[in-house]
Copies of this chain bind each other. A is one copy, B any other.
């Protein structure tokens, strides 16, 4: 978590699987949103110490459906790629949070995205305030630079 504090980001990683690639040999873009979700799940587990299944199933009683996405696909992802994904927080609202995802190959930015999710009660599916502990962790990777 010290690393988190220093770098002000969480870094997940993804691997491009055979089933993710289209006949042109590059990742079929809907799969990239799967990758984002994997990184999002990893963030909960690694930074919150709560596996995401427990987040939605139990302890936090919260779900995080996506409500908005903006994505730039700058360069294709290839089969076999193992790529770091940089995760930061662009905005924290009362019930929502906007994550920024950046997929790199070396120094080359391949995909960048802003994804907003709303915290909802898993029973009623109505928005509810972000849990305090989550908010604290989110603030550690909150960006200070302005959003692109």
Contact = CB atoms under 8 A, between A and B. Distances in A.
Interface of A: 17-19, 21-26, 28-31, 33-34, 37-38, 41, 51-54, 56-57, 63, 65-74, 76, 78-80, 122, 125
A105 to B, nearest CB: 14
19 contacts: A19-B28, A19-B30, A19-B37, A21-B22, A21-B23, A23-B25, A24-B56, A26-B65, A29-B65, A29-B66, A30-B31, A30-B33, A30-B34, A30-B37, A52-B80, A53-B79, A53-B80, A66-B73, A69-B69
A73 B65 contact: yes
A18 B37 contact: yes
A49 to B, nearest CB: 14
Task: Pick the 3 closest A-B CB pairs, nearest first.
Answer: A53-B80, A30-B33, A29-B66
A40 to B, nearest CB: 9
Given A22-B23, A30-B33, A41 B17 contact: yes
